[in-house]
Amino acid sequence: MPPRIAIIGGGIAGLSAAWELRPPAERGAIEVELFEASDRLGGTIHTDRGLGGILEWGPDSFLARKPEAATLARELGLEPSFLPVHRGGSYLYLKGKYVPFPPVGPTGLPRDLPSLMRSPILSPMGKLRAAGDLLLPRSREVRSGKDVSVGDFLGRRLGRAVVDRLAGPVAGGTHLTDIDQLSVRSVYPELLRLEEQHRSLILGLRAEARLHRPARAGSPAPSPFLTLKGGLETLIEALEKQLSPVLLRKNAPVDALAPRPEGGYLLRQAGSLHPFDATIIAVPAPGALAMLSPAFEGLRTVLARVTYAPTMVVGLAFREVWDRPPFDRAGIMLPQGTSSILAGVSFPTRKWGYEVPGGGTSVRAYVNKHRYPVLAKSSDAEIVAQVLPALRSMLGISEEPIYTRVFRHPAAMPEYRVGHGELVTRIRDAAARYPRLALAGALYEGVGISDCIRSGRAAARRARDALGP
């Protein structure tokens, strides 16, 4: 019998593991089975292609600077479907006004001092405080290797206004963790590196900007994000189609996993027991905890320490075509700590050029995660009724939407809190005690799609190597 590997979880991490293990003739003899609890693959990656045009439930793109997603898409023959940002830029909604957000890098910081100083987002006092970074010594924490929050680190170097109005909206939107709890070491190690190398972040960012200047002055900067024509689910559909040799089981929640005395694992699904030589767990921590038998006590203890943030996205379409601000940019962010029901807004029609059937404007409204516990008990219609007035007031519109969908994510993302790196090391160490068990997903190497693909493919190689020659 060929060795058998089980993959539990059919999100992008599990599917990437399956793709890595797909059997080319020469490697051949491994049998792979993937178990997915729901009736569809893709997990958080889910595209609605209804009357609002293309509206993403979860992610709408992948970062171009991280190669794994583009590499996987190329391997699947999807390069002709790559779609760069159609119209970028965003506004910060500050005291009822749309303030253009300066061009920033992935950490939410502008690349150089002049663009920070030109930006109307900071008051003159805020700018003066930010410039204090030029004089400050390196942080003690960084030198000692300690983790601190992104908010504390940036607040010390550049002042609170930069945290609340620049880095907070970007980091909060990407990580769903408050910037004052978000681990700088796990999420933005490049900030620590800049401080270590240049002492001042502003000087460091300027030096990096010089290095990354486009080859020809005036040539357009490449799109920082990419998606796929037809929406991100195109990636999942291609995987599902081309992974046919791998057994993909949908509606197949694994409810128990236990080590076998003779080696390998026994997996229980709908009352049936399935033996496997190796197992890859690619589900979020609560799902893993629910299936791991008491034999995994050490691993269970550390997994139980992971917390998840919820979110909700409301997709809407309007018949009207708007071009005035704020609809002339890709979206709107709100300052860190906003009390609004909205955490941000994007315009897929503008950002990606997606059309609403029959013409119009599509909108994605991100609901403030702090409102989730109350809203979760409401029906979709009640949620739309609560979001719409805030949205209308922010966008300056009074029209009725022609299409609405509520996309719920009760455990959207693992929170990368201060000390996350250490927690992941403890989880990995605990898992290492179980031979031929590999872990993958948004918890380990970053929450982005490329991070999950890297994590899934690495887990697949670990599981395969553990089987021996």
Ligand X SMILES: Cc1cc2nc3c(=O)[nH]c(=O)nc-3n(C[C@H](O)[C@H](O)[C@H](O)COP(=O)(O)OP(=O)(O)OC[C@H]3O[C@@H](n4cnc5c(N)ncnc54)[C@H](O)[C@@H]3O)c2cc1C
Binding residues for ligand X, rule: CB under 6 A, are 8-14, 35-38, 43-45, 58-62, 253-254, 282-284, 287, 291, 311, 313, 409, 412-413, 441-442, 447-449, 452
In the complex, least distance from residue 44 CB atom to ligand X, rounded to whole angstroms: 4
Q: How far is the CB of 301 from ligand X (least distance, A)?
A: 19
Q: DSSP 3-state assignment of 404?
A: strand
Hunting for tokens 């029609």 — which residue is that?
A: 349
Whose Cβ is closer to ligand X: residue 264's or residue 287's?
Answer: 287
- Tell me how far apart the alpha carbons of residues 53 and 1 are, in angstroms, rounded to a whole number: 48
* Pick 37 or 187: Cβ nearer ligand X: 37
Q: How far is the CB of 447 from ligand X (least distance, A)?
A: 4
**Residues 116/110, Cβ–Cβ less than 8 Å:** yes
Burial of 67 (0-12, 13-18, 19+ CB in 10 A): middle
- Least separation in angstroms between residue 68's CB and ligand X is 10
CA-closest candidate to residue 441, choices 330, 295, 284:
284
Give min distance, CB of 320 to ligand X, in A.
26
Query: CB-based burial of residue 339 (10 Å sphere; 0-12 exposed, 13-18 middle, 19+ buried)?
Result: exposed
Question: Closer to ligand X at the Cβ: 69 or 184?
Answer: 69
Nearer to ligand X, 3 or 310 (CB): 310
Q: How far is the CB of 208 from ligand X (least distance, A)?
A: 22
Nearer to ligand X, 338 or 450 (CB): 450
The dihedral formed by the CA atoms of 417, 419, 425 and 429, expressed in degrees to the nearest 10: -100
- 62: its two tokens: 């992948």
Q: What is the DSSP letter of 44?
A: T
The SS3 call for residue 54 is: coil
Name the residue nearer to ligand X (CB basis): 3 or 441.
441
User: Distances in Å between the alpha carbon of 85 and those of 44, 109, 362, 369?
Assistant: 21, 20, 15, 26
